[in-house]
Structure 1
Amino acid sequence: MNRDDVDWQGYFPAFVTPFTEAGELDLDTLRKLVDHYVAEGMHGIVVNGTCGEWFSQTAEERRAVAEAAAGHAAGRLKVLVGCTAYTARQTAEFAKHALAAGADGVLASPPPYAKLFPNEVIAFYQDINALIDGPLVVYNWPHGSGIDIDTELADRLADIDQIVAIKDSTPSADQFFATSRRVRDRVRVFGPYMTARGVAELKTEGGDGTVGGGSLFGRPDPQFWENYWKGDFAPMEAHAEASDRLFPKLWLPGGWAGKYGAYQSQLKVLMQMLGQPGGHVRRPRLPVTDPDSLAAMRAVLVGEGLLR
């Protein structure tokens, strides 16, 4: 199995898991969010990843979220389900369930807290590979796993049979583009191509897609990739300039947290301001409620033309 066994490309929002204000799982709002992304023309979604607050869900809830997202998307969107856990066997159990529920593929980072050595990372994904039957995405999330999958390690992982893609969230742009060039012959690469530097890379080296935290821009995010497939670079450059201007106003360097709260907490507030269904965060995440922070976020959206 390799990149040619899947047709994943374009913009995939990292899908938030909606909770009620009391902290209960809100599957009705989840389905509304699927419908919203279908209406906006997204190419796929990534469920139960970092934005999905998988860490605050029970195993039963994680399975319910996977079933609801894959079932409601029903072929309208590609659905990748995050299955990160502390062991390969636990990860594989979530993965087998997600694939049986209709997911197009599964995604996992190295286990959090363990801070694996490179040979242990290889063994971890080899073990998952041996336990499942379906497309597997490597998720490089240094802030959660404690390690950064560098270009050499990504090169080795790309040779594991069922690994067909990497979602690379390294904070190092230099490393990301080096990894993209090294492994794209074998796996699809999703990462920060939607920047001025990313557009230049797409022109010369190519790229597959981006998994972004939700979609504040809406339709322009998937349109960026559709313009790329047509070779229409001028509107891509304009969107990249807008992104390069917006995101430093809202997110800390490396994109691991918001300037006004935790990543999920800030994203859900921004979604609410934009009228997008996203629900509330669940503890240990706390909502952003400070009036000055809320006013500052709203001012950014208004200043960038996303909100009147």
Structure 2
Amino acid sequence: MIEGSLVALVTPMTADNELDWDSLHKVVEWHLEQGTNSIVAVGTSGESATLSMAEHFEVIAKVVDQVNGRVPVIAGTGANSTREAIELTEAAKERGADGCLSVTPYYNKPTQEGLYQHFKTIAGAVAIPQILYNVPGRTGVDMANDTVLRLSEVPNIVGIKDATGDVDRARDLLARVASDFAVYSGDDLTALELILAGGKGNISVTANVLPADVATMCALALAGKADEARAINDRLMPLNKALFLESNPIPVKWAMARMGLIAAGIRLPLTPLAEKFHEPLVAAMKEAGALPANG
């Protein structure tokens, strides 16, 4: 079971929005040096919705090859077509991913039974560990805890990324699922409380900017050192909030470009961070320690 900080990795792009393989290599290596526990490639933060199939597969392959077993690599393989999700999941397995992250089908608004059958069918088709991903704020569909509980009984469905931000709901799920089913936060604002309640880690946007701090905070929380973890979390909180001034990954890619980690490329329909948010994001980055206070 993966524990700790799982970075929701951005996909670096050049100024003309082509994939930036050199920056991807540098950022992945930086995460390994900084103590990130797992890399989640081509998820929401990785702009999977605007990558071609070929690009999607190539990002997975390059990350897997570079990581070379040093940490687990999870590939985003969700789709609102069950057949397409199976194709993506098969491709991730073929390219050596350690597991897959599969988002609830967006736009077509399946019922709870439809969600159950969707994920059960993918799991039955591809023998690879699979993590469910519930983010109703983006998909327009919310997977109930009862449905997650049913799916947790499918052998290769091993966990869920809960991006609802509802810690009470996560506590209810944790009380009902088996101990070998991992509940991860998908919300940096509430991740600490979810881990302290029994969650296994945080699939984090903020880790793109301050990977060592997020990894340390998660490790302390998992060890039950709540006060020490909370001290780091309190410092990170303004940044956690600022990284959602506009839709993810608009702010985080701008922040990383400001740090010199990547170029500023982002694909339509997403646009670069609005100028009115530059100053508050820089202020939050300085407060969290991502930029020098006088820089």
Shared fold (TM-score greater than 0.5)? yes
Deviations 1:249-293, CA, capped at 9 Å, x for gaps: x15xxxxxx22x321111101112233336521111111252x42
Task: Look up the SS of the partner of 1:13 in the other structure.
Answer: strand
Q: Does 1:173 align with 2:173?
A: no
Q: What residue is the counterpart of 1:219 in the other structure?
A: 212
Equivalent positions of 1:153-302 (< 5 A) are 153-191=147-185, 198-199=192-193, 202-203=195-196, 205-215=197-207, 216-248=209-241, 250-251=242-243, 258-259=244-245, 261-277=246-262, 279-290=264-275, 292-302=276-286
Deviations 1:85-126, CA, capped at 9 Å, x for gaps: 222221111111111211110111122111110000011011
Q: Distance in 1 between matches of 2:107 and 2:67?
A: 33
Give the length in aligned residue pairs.
291
Q: Using a 3 Å threshold, how does the CA distance of structure 1 residues 67 and 202 change in structure 2: closer, same or farther? A: closer
Unaligned runs of 5+ in 2: none
Q: Select between 145-154 and 115-124 the one with higher mean Cα deviation.
A: 145-154
Q: Does 1:303 align with 2:295?
A: no
CA contact (8 A) 1:196 1:241 kept: no
The percent identity for this pair of structures is 25
Task: Look up the SS of the partner of 1:219 in the other structure.
Answer: helix
CA contact (8 A) 2:136 2:164 kept: yes
Q: CA deviation at 1:235?
A: 1.5
Task: Look up the SS of the partner of 2:249 in the other structure.
Answer: helix
| Match among 17, 25, 34 for residue 23 of structure 1 | 17
Deviations 1:130-155, CA, capped at 9 Å, x for gaps: 21011011011112321112222211
Q: Distance in 1 between matches of 2:181 and 2:15?
A: 40
Q: Distance in 2 between matches of 1:142 and 1:60?
A: 27
Q: Select between 152-161 and 296-305 the one with higher mean Cα deviation.
A: 296-305
Q: Distance in 1 between matches of 2:231 and 2:291?
A: 19
Q: Does 1:81 align with 2:72?
A: no
Q: Using a 3 Å threshold, how does the CA distance of structure 1 residues 116 and 278 change in structure 2: closer, same or farther? A: farther
Q: Using a 3 Å threshold, how does the CA distance of structure 1 residues 278 and 78 change in structure 2: closer, same or farther? A: farther
CA contact (8 A) 1:190 1:208 kept: yes
Q: Using a 3 Å threshold, how does the CA distance of structure 1 residues 179 and 193 change in structure 2: closer, same or farther? A: farther
Q: What is the TM-score of this pair, normalised by structure 2?
A: 0.91
Runs of at least 4 residues of structure 1 off by over 4 A? 192-197
Task: Look up the SS of the partner of 1:86 in the other structure.
Answer: coil
Q: CA deviation at 1:58?
A: 0.8
Q: Distance in 2 between matches of 1:108 and 1:127?
A: 12
Q: What is the TM-score of this pair, normalised by structure 1?
A: 0.87
Q: Distance in 2 between matches of 1:78 and 1:302?
A: 31
Q: How big is the alpha-carbon RMSD for the aligned residues of Structure 1 and Structure 2?
A: 2.1
CA contact (8 A) 2:264 2:272 kept: no
Q: What residue is the counterpart of 2:55 in the other structure?
A: 61
Q: What residue is the counterpart of 1:12 in the other structure?
A: 6
Q: Using a 3 Å threshold, how does the CA distance of structure 1 residues 99 and 226 change in structure 2: closer, same or farther? A: same
Q: Using a 3 Å threshold, how does the CA distance of structure 1 residues 145 and 136 change in structure 2: closer, same or farther? A: same
Equivalent positions of 1:64-143 (< 5 A) are 64-143=58-137
